[in-house]
Amino acid sequence: MILSFLGRNTEGILADAHREFPNEQGVLVISRDGDQLQPPAGVEVVPVSAFAPVVGESYTLIANGGTASQLLPVVRRLVEAKVEFTAWDLQREGKTQVW
């Protein structure tokens, strides 16, 4: 499952993620609590305080977009849940694994 963050370019980041990770099934976008930004249509969104990794699920975390207040709690919960995940920085030049 692709995890991404609600930010100003969520739609573009998700398009890049789908291009780079075409075999990933499902997308979950993490928003800040009380965020007023509107997510792209048809995308499942959960506030950062409600994010809970599913044991047995594998995650591809896209570290672009959003804020540190979204990224750090998500990484912490992924690590604490001991689920399988990788984290990536997507740029025009390509992707770089950061975790």
Q: What is the pLDDT of residues 15-59, one digit of tens each?
A: 999 999 999 999 999 999 999 999 999 999 999 999 999 999 999
User: How many structural domains compose the chain?
Assistant: 1
In which band, very low, low, confident or very high, does the pLDDT at 95 lie, cut at 50, 70 and 90? Answer: very high
CB-hemisphere CA count at 13 Å for 80? 9
Cα–Cα distance, 13 to 1 (Å, whole number): 15
User: Residue 92: its pLDDT value, please?
Assistant: 82
Q: Which domain holds residue 64?
A: 2-97
User: Residue 9: its pLDDT value, please?
Assistant: 93
pTM: 0.94
User: Do strands 2-5 and 27-31 pair parallel, antiparallel, or not at all (unpaired)?
Assistant: parallel
pLDDT above 70 covers a percentage of the chain that reads 100
Cα–Cα distance, 81 to 52 (Å, whole number): 9
